[in-house]
Structure 1
């Protein structure tokens, strides 16, 4: 029988040598080229993450303060009376007598706090002009029955309201050193305040007597005008 051993072995040896020279032999490691298109490149991934973090990083100052404010939860609280103690609002009268008396009173509204709101925004939120002066006048008949000294006093009548002030905020979606984007808008309560609305004028009559020991309180009457 004819054998080809002598011819085959040199060819096999030559092929193995060629494969080893090309780096594809048993136990060889193939190194792929690295670059931007290489998903396995550690340096590329780290650099990309750092760039993304620099573009959209959390803002260090917390929520966005948009600044828009509004009045909410307005409600009536009570009627408030003021009795100024000055010559323009107090008149002396002797009795007994029947007098026709005309009183006049001019006054404006009041607000306990504005939280930075303009009067225009406050007026719109409350439904009346807080900074407008109202004038009230009326003639009344006074019947001073006793022989005594009387004081007639003019008063102011307000309607008091309570309200809240809210400011619009948002959360930073992302921010850089030169720009920011806000998202998820919501309202934050800044505080509460009261407002006095001019309602009408009024008067009261007080009989003044000489002070005595254990004297009874002075008698007085009052009337509210519309």
Structure 2
């Protein structure tokens, strides 16, 4: 019996969306071999969530291959794959603390790490950066995320924000849908890329004035027509349907 036949329609849709997110991250070259993670909560009261099979490249992830675990890291559905313990620590912490965090993305992109090591972090150099800065937090590096005690500090630093920069480590976004978490990561990653490229010119750089930053959240609602990531997500799925339709298997 296939995985699709054994799970609810809602869980299968979440699996398809999450597998699509892995594939589009691979498309943009944001993956780090097998060492980062995207998770999504399974609809229902159990707080189970889906995460990538440890050892599988992002371009290989399918809806059926995703591993379902509980908040203690126990597999709650048979799978031949294990999960990354560091990935579990980060993702279980956010899923447990934030009911609105239906999807959590954590990446080790070059530009993201390059900004994370800068003392001032992300700076308001671009329009894209303003959206991230309107809901951004930081978490100091504590080594590879294997210590359960770090979970308390990570969620305290995250608070109610949607964007997080993990110092000396990478980027994290969370949202109430895969589409919104991906859009948030796209914005944060692009902001970091622009910052690094602008700084590489060696010329004086102009910051966006603080009053503009203060008004950006209301403007974000207007630009996206309150639809958030769902404006772009259908197009992303169509792209994947053309290029790698097996993500839905």
TM range, smaller chain: under 0.3
Computing the radius of gyration over CA atoms, which structure comes out larger, 1 or 2? 1
Q: TM-score, normalised by structure 2?
A: 0.17
Which has more helix, going by share of residues?
Answer: 2
